Amino acid sequence: MTAALVRPDARYMASFVEAMREGYSRDTLRPETPETIAAVAADPDGFLRQLADPPATIVLPDGALGQRAPETLLWYVDGDEFLGSVSVRHALNAALSQWGGHIGYSVRPSAQGRGYASAMLAGMLDHVRANLPLDRVMLTANLKNPASIRVIEKNGGVLQDTIPHPWVEGDRGRRYWIALR
Ligand SMILES: CC(C)(COP(=O)(O)OP(=O)(O)OC[C@H]1O[C@@H](n2cnc3c(N)ncnc32)[C@H](O)[C@@H]1OP(=O)(O)O)[C@@H](O)C(=O)NCCC(=O)NCCS
């Protein structure tokens, strides 16, 4: 089988729940809990419907309510196996310009270290080139996450600056841009 970027679909849900149980999280800043995993496992179709039609607001890491940026989420899969996720926000808002940027990604723990994040980001950059009117995209990485820094730099990331992490006290992070055209 060959891994590919696809839209979330019911055929990957069993593997997606397994990935959550082994430590994959939908949000890098907030780990899943037994309750969030159980909720997805109990109603995979409802979960997929919510992914397709998400709420207009989002709870920010500090608990405040923000406007959700329009986003395209793709899953990296091999056969029916879920390997990881990558999403692109179609435009930056104030919070994302500070931290988060356009593109975020995550690979399930058992599939890390095999080049998947690098391949997912490269595939998403192609997707953005073909589907969105963006000339460049912003990405951020915590200095404590050298694997993510490497993934961004391998995909052409140019460092803008290093800033205090807005959501994690004491941490610092890098903001990068990748030119698309
Ligand atoms: C960061 C993450 C996406 C990397 O996924 P991955 O599939 O293991 O990444 P890849 O295998 O494509 O590449 C990782 C690169 O970083 C390198 N790397 C890994 N650990 C490293 C370390 N501690 N120091 C330096 N480089 C490191 C690898 O050698 C590889 O580089 P190479 O291709 O030149 O050998 C994954 O660890 C993850 O999902 N973490 C949790 C979520 C997250 O942090 N997302 C990113 C938010 S910005």
Q: Which fold has domain 4-179?
A: Aminopeptidase (3.40.630)
Q: What is the pLDDT of residue 46?
A: 98
Ligand 1 atom with minimal separation from the 111 CA: 7
For 104-117, what is the mean pLDDT?
A: 98
Q: Which atom of ligand 1 has the smallest separation from the CA of 142?
A: 48
Token digits of residue 87: 């999403």
pTM score, whole prediction: 0.96
Across 81-90, average pLDDT: 98
Tens-place pLDDT, residues 87-102: 999 999 999 999 999 9
How many angstroms does the Cα of residue 124 sit away from the middle of ligand 1? Answer: 16
Distance of CA 37 from the midpoint of ligand 1 (Å): 24
Binned at pLDDT 50, 70 and 90, residue 12 comes out as very high
Give the SS3 label for residue 113: coil
Residue 1 pLDDT > 90: no
Q: Name the residue with the closest Cα to ligand 1, atom 43.
A: 106
Indicate the pLDDT class of residue 3, thresholds 50, 70 and 90.
very high
Ligand 1 centroid, distance to 175 Cα (angstroms) = 17
Q: Whose CA is nearest to atom 20 of ligand 1?
A: 147
For a ligand 1 pocket test, name from 83, 118, 176 the mutation site with the most ligand atoms within 8 angstroms of its C-beta: 118
For ligand 1, the distance from its centroid to the CA atom of residue 114, given in whole angstroms, is 9
What's the pLDDT tens digit per position in 23-58? 999 999 999 999 999 999 999 999 999 999 999 999
160 Ramachandran zone, left/alpha/beta (phi>0; psi -120 to 50): alpha
> What pLDDT was estimated at residue 40?
98
Segment 108-123 shows an average pLDDT of 98
Torsion over CA: 48, 53, 59, 61 (sign): positive
> Among residues 115, 95, 117, 91, which one has the least CA distance to residue 106?
117
User: Which of 145, 152, 155, 171 for a ligand 1 pocket mutation test, highest count of atoms within 8 Å of Cβ?
Assistant: 145
Angle formed at CA 181 by CA 112 and CA 125, multiple of 5 degrees? 20
Report the pocket of ligand 1 as residue ranges, CB < 6 Å. Answer: 28, 104-107, 112-118, 141, 145-148, 150-151
**Token pair belonging to 63:** 């608990």
Question: Over the stretch 119-168, which tens digit does the pLDDT of each residue have?
Answer: 999 999 999 999 999 999 999 999 999 999 999 999 999 999 999 999 99
